[in-house]
Amino acid sequence: MLGANRYGKSDVRLVKVTRGETTHELRDLVVDVALEGDFEAAHVEGDNTGLLATDTMRNTVYALARTHPLDSLEAFGAALVERFLRAGPTVTAAHVRIAEHPWSRLTAHSFQRGSGGTRVALVSGPELRYEAGIEDLLVLKTTGSGWAGFHRDEYTTLPETGDRILATIVTARWEYARASGESTWAGVRDTVLESFGDHYSPSVQFTLHHMGQAVLDRFAEIERIHFSLPNRHHLLFDLERFGLDNPNAIFHSTTEPYGLIEGTVER
């Protein structure tokens, strides 16, 4: 029997320029669409009756972007979800994921590709549910972190330390009880950045909980937040063989293998 299934259109690149009298606004988005419903005939019998073409999904994204403001990614995502639920005769659920590449303004009409993480918005229906998130937010602190007191056995070689580099690439997802304003995403990102650096971290696990608690304390509308934090190790390089000391100054940065710490902080 056919089990759970879905289909859609991914990596729809959308750039919208809103031309004001004196300045232009730029939004650079990547939209993914996934639909669920009664698609058994297409899978089992090769009957495509009632199936919405993925090409139509792509065109819908561009058409709605022309007529719908992009002031709120969540509102745009909700508009797409509602459209796909109406347009697909056999569609029972729709999921839209929007990732925004940030641009920072140089002049009224020129921009520079920004930093500070990729913004993500996720909307699902028919009962609208909203999630938001951050991806590719690289953070590092050169002190104020350690790793000690952990369990040791015959295969443990890692020395304990009370002063190490802590670096990670933050991926975070949080759920809203309702669609929030545009300022909330920036506020959550700023809270994550502030709380990453404002404490001594005995572990990535401790920092994960600390950041999550800071977000929930500040934003009552957020129900829970999930973090995925790869530990981007910076290993003290052995310079003794060259007759040099290394007072926590020279490190070898590695990308693999790496520790991966994940967790959810909720009310």
Note the pLDDT of residue 210. Answer: 98
User: Which of 36, 30, 28 minimizes the C-alpha distance to 81?
Assistant: 36
Which position among 9, 171, 184, 226 bears the catalytic label? 9
* Rounded Cα gap, residues 51 and 150, in angstroms: 55
Q: Residue 169: beta bridge partners?
A: 138
Assess contact for 6 and 54: CB atoms under 8 A.
Answer: no
Domain annotation covers residue 176: yes
148 and 80 fall within a common domain: no
* Rounded Cα gap, residues 156 and 117, in angstroms: 35
CATH of the domain at 150: 3.10.270.10
H-assigned helices in 148-266: 182-197, 204-218
Assess contact for 8 and 81: CB atoms under 8 A.
Answer: no
Domain annotation covers residue 175: yes
* Annotation marks residue 16 as catalytic: no
Number of folded domains in the chain?
Answer: 2
Note the pLDDT of residue 112. Answer: 94
90 and 172 fall within a common domain: no
Note the pLDDT of residue 116. Answer: 83
| Domain end call among 127, 159, 178 | 127
Contacts of 118 (CB under 8 A, 6+ apart): 99, 100, 101, 102, 134, 135, 136, 137
Note the pLDDT of residue 76. Answer: 96
Assess contact for 97 and 74: CB atoms under 8 A.
Answer: no
Note the pLDDT of residue 176. Answer: 84
| Domain end call among 108, 127, 146 | 127
How many CA atoms within 13 Å lie on the side-chain side of 234? 17
Domain annotation covers residue 48: yes
141 and 209 fall within a common domain: yes
* Rounded Cα gap, residues 102 and 98, in angstroms: 13
Domain region containing 21: 7-127
114 and 181 fall within a common domain: no
**0.85 cut: is pTM over it?**
yes
Mean pLDDT by 10 residues, the chain (267 residues): 96 95 95 97 95 97 95 94 96 97 93 89 94 95 95 94 95 84 88 96 97 96 96 93 94 92 97
166 and 88 fall within a common domain: no
Note the pLDDT of residue 169. Answer: 96
Which position among 16, 24, 54, 199 bears the catalytic label? 54
* Rounded Cα gap, residues 97 and 78, in angstroms: 10
181 and 261 fall within a common domain: yes
Neighbours of 31 (CB within 10 A): 27
